[in-house]
Amino acid sequence: MELSTWLVYVSVISVLIFSPGPSALLCISDGVKFGNKKTLPTILGGAIAALLLMTLSAVGLGAILTASETLFFVIKMLGAGYLLYLGWSAWREKAVDHHDETTSIFRTEPEVEADQNNTLITYSAYLLFRKGFMVGISNPKDLLFFIALFPSFMNADFPQIEQYAVLACTWFFIDCTSMFMYAGLGAKISPLLTKPSTMIFVNRTVGSVFIVLGSALAISAGMSRKS
């Protein structure tokens, strides 16, 4: 592909990826809980979800979704529902205490009653990967980009597979780098969140943002469908 096209692509996706969104918020949240290294499954889940969307767009699904208003509406509503679910889960989540490298305790009562009411939850790379993937696959920014803009970076005069490989590798590198930075930010501020009351406040803030994002996506989908 032409260098000028690639540079424009890098500029566009850099702004898109680095701008805060559901995936960035999730990486910060997991970085606070587990540290930046253990957030890698979350990062990879989101990046692979984006590559899947890119692949579907490259093979023509973008045109199909654009032509099918109902299908696009269903996908956006599913994404909105999942964001609302994440928000509700984060809102209900209590303080985290890392007592070893693989286990976290989510307190169900204030710290003074921890011995009687703790629920033990084992760190799971699979669960983090799945959560990262689900947030990534329903990310409204990525959905709109891959449906509306990504096909314009593919030139019919050049080999399609080579172009796709370049664009996909570029996205994957920038996406993982950006999300790792967000996870690192979460890990850096985690010592400031050792008090259970502070952690509960952060969880509810994160949950509220997810709920707002999910609601906004649902309202946007409903308004676009009516118009």
CB atoms within 10 A of CB 110: 13
Distance CA 27, CA 5 (A): 30
Q: How far is CA 114 from the centre of its chain?
A: 31
Angle between helices 196-226 and 69-92 (to 10 degrees): 160
Say which residue, 5 or 156, is predicted with more confidence. 5
Say which residue, 95 or 17, is predicted with more confidence. 17
Task: Return the pLDDT at 222.
Answer: 73
Lowest mean pLDDT segment, chosen from 17-21, 24-28, 64-68, 149-153 = 64-68
Q: Across residues 109-131, what is the average pLDDT?
A: 57
Distance CA 147, CA 61 (A): 8
Total domains, the chain: 1
The answer to whether the predicted template modeling score (pTM) of the entire model surpasses 0.75 is no
Check: CB of residue 192 under 8 Å from CB of residue 35.
no
Does an H or E element contain 139, and which? none
Distance CA 135, CA 80 (A): 10
Lowest mean pLDDT segment, chosen from 12-16, 67-71, 87-91, 101-105 = 101-105
Task: Return the pLDDT at 31.
Answer: 86
Task: Return the pLDDT at 180.
Answer: 92
Check: CB of residue 62 under 8 Å from CB of residue 151.
yes
Residue type, 46: G
What tokens does 201 get?
């406040």
pLDDT category, 41, cuts 50, 70, 90?
very high
Q: Is 5 exposed, middle or buried (0-12, 13-18, 19+ CB in 10 A)?
A: middle
Say which residue, 104 or 30, is predicted with more confidence. 30
Say which residue, 169 or 219, is predicted with more confidence. 169
What tokens does 168 get?
């996909």
Check: CB of residue 166 under 8 Å from CB of residue 7.
no
Say which residue, 45 or 100, is predicted with more confidence. 45
Residue ranges making up the domain that contains 137? 3-226
Task: Return the pLDDT at 175.
Answer: 93
Chain position carrying tokens 């689900």: 134
Chain position carrying tokens 């947030």: 135
For the stretch 204-209, contacts whose Cβ atoms lie closer than 8 Å and that sit 24 or more positions apart, written own/partner, are: 204/90, 204/91, 206/25, 206/28, 206/29, 206/87, 206/90, 207/86, 207/87, 207/88, 207/89, 207/90, 207/91, 207/92, 207/93, 208/87, 208/91, 209/25, 209/87
pLDDT category, 40, cuts 50, 70, 90?
very high
Task: Return the pLDDT at 121.
Answer: 44
Instruction: Return the percentage of the chain with pLDDT > 70, whole number.
Output: 70
